[in-house]
C-alpha cells in the first residue's frame, strides 16, 4: 500500500517532510502516526492506513507534491531489509584495517620521548637552601625543565612576580655545565692561590680559557595555538519551514499593501480581576475550563465591532465589504510559529464557549491536528503578547482584515482616581488598523469602547 501526501486545502500544492516517526523496516499498525508533514499553514501527521512493514521513499527535509508517494506498507508482512543494514558491516572492516595504524600510533610517542633532550643542569629544579627562585606553578616548573630554561634568571611578569608561561617562552635556556672528561681527585686546597711567577718574568695578561662548544640547544617550540573556527562553523544555516516562509510573506505583504497605523490606550483591570476571583472557581466547576482574559476581550471586541463596523470590514477591489458577523482570529504561538485559528460567529458565543474553543485550538496545535478550516477566514484578530511578558508592542495586520487588537502584560502602576494617586493593575492596549478603511476617529473610538467594556465587565455582560 502506498503512503501519499494528503490534500489539506485548495491553495496548498506541496508539503515538507518534517520528520519520520517510524523507521524503515519497522512493523506498523493501522492508524499509527508515521510522519509529520508541514505546509505553509499547518503541521499534521500522516497515519498508517494498514498494518505491515514500512518502507520510506522520501527523506526528512524533502519537499514533495500533494498526492506524491512518500513510502509504502507491505501488508504481507515480509521482513523488509532495514535501511541501515548495508552500512552496518562497513565500519567493522574499516576498524580492522585501522588496527595496525592504531598500534603504530601507540608506539610513536615512546620513540619520540626517547629522543627528547635532557634538561639543562639546574633548569626548573627546586631551589636549594639559600637560593632564590621566582614563584611559579607546578606546570610552569615542568615546562621549564622541558625547555631547559634557568628560572633563577627570569623576572616574572605575573602577580607577585610569578613566572608565567609567556615569561618561559621569552626566556633563554640555561647553558648546561661542561661535563668532566674523567673523574679526578680533588685538589689539595680548594680555592688556593695559583703558583707565583718566576723572578724576572714578564707577567702576561690572563687568558680566558677557550669556551667549550655548547651542546645543541633544545628546540623551544611554542604550543600550537587553538585552531580558529571557520566562519561557517560559527553559524547554523537551516532552510525556512513552509510555515515560517508563509508568515514572512504575510507580514511583508501587510506592510506593503496596507496603510497600517497604530493607536494606543490603557485599561484598568481591577474589575476584571475581581470578577475572575469571585466567579473563577464556579466557572471552572460548571464549564470545566478556566475563565481567562481572552474570552472577556473577545466579547468586548465583538460588541465594539458592532458599534464601529468599519473596523470589521475589508477591501475587495474597489469595494469595502462590511461583515455583519464577527469571526475573531485568536493568535496562538506554537513550537513552529504563530498561527491564528478563528472563532466562528464569536458574537453569539458565551464566555465558556470561547474559552473551550481556544483550549481546543491549543490542543490541536500541540498534537499537530490543526486543520486548514480552522485557519481560514476571520474578520478581526486579537493577539495577547502579554503571555510572553510584552509591555507594549505594535501588532501587525492580517490582511484582508482591517484591524488587530494587541493585549499586553498586566502591571501595577500609579494612576490618579478621584484626584488621588492609587496603585491599579493596568494593561496597555494597541489597535493597528488599515487607514484606507478606518479613519482615526473610528479607530480611537473603537479602542476607547473596548477599554470601557474591560473596566466595567458587568455592563458588557448585561448588554450581551
Amino acid 182: pLDDT = 47
In this predicted model, what pLDDT tens digit does every residue of 333-347 receive, in sequence order? 777 667 899 999 999
Range 268-272, long-range pairs (CB < 8 A, 24+ positions)? 268/415, 268/424, 268/425, 268/426, 268/455, 269/410, 269/424, 269/425, 269/426, 269/427, 269/454, 269/455, 270/424, 270/425, 270/455, 271/455, 271/456, 271/457, 271/458, 272/296, 272/454, 272/457
Q: Is the pLDDT of residue 63 over 80?
A: yes
Position of cell 512518500? 70
Amino acid 351: pLDDT = 96
Q: d(Cα 19, Cα 321) in Å, to the nearest integer?
A: 42
Q: Is 345 left (phi over 0), alpha (psi -120 to 50) or beta?
A: left
In this predicted model, what pLDDT tens digit does every residue of 361-375 receive, in sequence order? 999 888 878 888 898
Mean pLDDT of the 183-195 span: 45
| Of the listed ranges 105-114, 198-207, 321-330, the one predicted with least confidence | 105-114
- H or E segment and range at residue 85: helix 85-88
User: End-to-end distance of the chain based on CA atoms, in angstroms?
Assistant: 54
Give the torsion sign (CA, 102, 104, 107, 108): negative
Nine cell digits for residue 87 = 552500512
> What DSSP state is assigned to residue 340?
-
From the centroid of its chain, how far is CA 189? Answer: 81
> What DSSP state is assigned to residue 173?
B
Amino acid 209: pLDDT = 55
Decide: helix, strand or coil at residue 67.
Answer: coil
Question: Percent of the chain at pLDDT above 90?
Answer: 44
Amino acid 242: pLDDT = 78
Per the residue annotation, which of 2, 31, 279, 435 is the catalytic one?
435
- H or E segment and range at residue 433: strand 420-434
Amino acid 109: pLDDT = 45
> What DSSP state is assigned to residue 101?
H
Mean pLDDT of the 194-209 span: 51
In this predicted model, what pLDDT tens digit does every residue of 266-315 receive, in sequence order? 999 999 999 999 999 999 999 999 999 999 999 999 999 999 999 999 99
Amino acid 143: pLDDT = 74
From the centroid of its chain, how far is CA 316? Answer: 41
From the centroid of its chain, how far is CA 191? Answer: 77
Contact 332, 365 (CB under 8 A): yes
Nine cell digits for residue 379 = 474578520
Its pTM stands at 0.59
Neighbours of 379 (CB within 10 A): 24
Q: d(Cα 386, Cα 393) in Å, to the nearest integer?
A: 10
Per the residue annotation, which of 2, 31, 279, 439 is the catalytic one?
439
273 burial level (CB within 10 Å; 0-12, 13-18, 19+): middle
Amino acid 124: pLDDT = 45
Q: State the pLDDT confidence band at 247, using cuts at 50, 70 and 90.
A: confident
Q: Is 435 a catalytic residue?
A: yes
Contact 358, 339 (CB under 8 A): no
Range 91-95, long-range pairs (CB < 8 A, 24+ positions)? none
Q: State the pLDDT confidence band at 34, using cuts at 50, 70 and 90.
A: very high
> What DSSP state is assigned to residue 244?
H
Q: State the pLDDT confidence band at 164, using cuts at 50, 70 and 90.
A: confident
The angle formed by the CA atoms of residues 360, 328 and 384, to the nearest 5 degrees, is 75
In this predicted model, what pLDDT tens digit does every residue of 395-443 receive, in sequence order? 999 999 999 999 999 999 999 999 999 999 999 999 999 999 999 999 9
Q: Is the pLDDT of residue 201 over 90?
A: no
Mean pLDDT of the 316-334 span: 92
Q: State the pLDDT confidence band at 208, using cuts at 50, 70 and 90.
A: low
Amino acid 103: pLDDT = 44
Nine cell digits for residue 1 = 500500500
Give the torsion sign (CA, 303, 377, 394, 334): positive
Q: d(Cα 52, Cα 271) in Å, to the nearest integer?
A: 60
**Nearest-10 crossing angle of helices 293-307, 351-366:** 120
Higher pLDDT, 231 or 156: 156
Contact 392, 430 (CB under 8 A): yes
Closest residue by Cα to residue 37 from 57, 17, 56, 23: 17
Where do the domains of the chain lie, and which CATH numbers do they carry?
2-80 (2.40.50.100), 260-463 (3.30.559.10)
Amino acid 191: pLDDT = 45
Q: State the pLDDT confidence band at 144, using cuts at 50, 70 and 90.
A: confident
Contact 271, 457 (CB under 8 A): yes
Amino acid 379: pLDDT = 97
Amino acid 95: pLDDT = 42
Amino acid 167: pLDDT = 75
Q: Is the pLDDT of residue 173 over 80?
A: no
Amino acid 283: pLDDT = 96
Give the torsion sign (CA, 243, 245, 251, 254): negative
Q: d(Cα 172, Cα 147) in Å, to the nearest integer?
A: 9
Contact 52, 76 (CB under 8 A): yes
Using omega within 30 degrees of 0 as the cis cutoff, is the peptide bond preceding 62 cis? no
Amino acid at each position: 500500500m502506498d503512503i501519499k501526501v494528503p490534500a489539506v486545502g485548495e491553495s496548498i500544492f506541496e508539503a515538507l517532510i518534517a520528520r519520520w516517526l517510524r523507521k524503515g523496516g519497522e512493523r506498523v499498525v493501522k492508524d499509527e502516526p508515521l510522519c509529520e508533514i508541514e505546509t505553509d499553514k499547518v503541521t499534521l501527521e500522516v497515519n498508517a492506513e494498514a498494518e505491515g512493514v514500512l518502507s520510506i521513499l522520501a527523506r526528512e527535509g524533502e519537499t514533495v507534491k500533494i498526492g506524491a508517494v512518500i513510502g509504502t506498507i507491505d501488508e504481507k508482512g515480509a521482513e523488509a531489509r532495514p535501511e541501515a543494514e548495508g552500512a552496518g558491516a562497513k565500519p567493522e572492516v574499516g576498524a580492522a584495517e585501522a588496527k595496525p595504524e592504531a598500534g603504530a600510533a601507540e608506539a610513536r610517542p615512546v620513540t619520540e620521548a626517547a629522543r627528547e633532550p635532557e634538561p639543562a643542569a639546574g633548569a626548573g629544579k627546586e631551589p636549594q637552601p639559600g637560593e632564590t627562585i621566582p614563584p611559579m606553578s607546578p606546570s610552569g616548573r615542568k615546562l621549564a625543565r622541558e625547555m631547559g630554561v634557568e628560572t633563577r634568571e627570569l623576572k616574572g611578569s605575573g602577580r607577585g612576580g610569578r613566572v608565567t608561561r609567556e615569561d618561559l617562552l621569552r626566556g633563554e635556556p640555561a647553558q648546561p655545565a661542561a661535563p668532566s672528561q674523567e673523574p679526578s681527585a680533588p685538589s689539595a686546597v680548594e680555592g688556593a692561590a695559583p703558583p707565583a711567577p718566576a723572578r724576572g718574568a714578564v707577567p702576561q695578561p690572563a687568558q680566558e680559557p677557550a669556551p667549550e662548544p655548547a651542546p645543541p640547544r633544545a628546540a623551544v617550540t611554542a604550543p600550537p595555538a587553538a585552531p580558529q573556527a571557520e566562519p561557517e562553523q560559527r553559524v547554523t544555516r537551516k532552510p525556512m519551514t513552509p510555515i515560517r516562509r508563509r508568515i514572512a510573506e504575510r507580514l511583508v505583504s501587510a506592510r506593503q499593501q496596507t496603510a497600517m497605523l497604530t493607536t494606543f490606550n490603557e485599561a484598568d483591570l481591577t474589575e476584571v480581576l475581581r470578577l475572575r476571583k469571585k466567579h473563577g472557581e464556579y466557572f471552572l466547576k460548571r464549564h470545566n475550563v478556566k475563565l481567562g482574559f481572552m474570552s472577556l476581550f473577545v466579547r468586548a471586541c465583538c460588541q465594539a465591532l458592532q458599534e464601529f463596523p468599519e473596523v470589521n470590514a475589508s477591501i475587495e477591489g474597489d469595494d469595502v465589504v462590511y461583515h455583519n458577523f464577527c469571526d475573531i482570529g485568536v493568535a496562538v504561538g506554537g513550537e513552529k510559529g504563530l498561527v491564528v485559528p478563528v472563532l466562528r460567529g464569536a458574537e453569539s458565543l458565551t464566555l465558556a464557549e470561547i474559552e473551550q474553543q481556544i483550549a481546543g485550538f491549543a490542543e490541536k496545535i500541540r498534537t499537530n491536528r490543526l486543520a486548514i478550516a480552522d485557519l481560514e477566514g476571520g474578520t478581526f484578530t486579537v493577539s495577547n503578547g502579554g503571555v510572553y511578558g510584552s509591555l507594549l508592542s505594535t501588532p501587525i495586520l492580517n490582511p484582508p482584515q482591517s484591524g488587530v487588537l494587541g493585549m499586553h502584560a498586566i502591571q501595577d502602576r500609579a494612576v490618579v482616581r478621584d484626584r488621588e494617586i492609587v496603585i491599579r493593575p493596568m494593561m496597555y492596549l494597541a489597535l493597528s488598523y488599515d487607514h484606507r478603511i478606518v479613519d482615526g476617529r473610528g479607530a480611537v473610538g473603537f479602542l476607547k469602547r473596548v477599554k470601557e467594556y474591560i473596566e466595567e465587565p458587568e455592563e458588557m455582560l448585561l448588554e450581551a
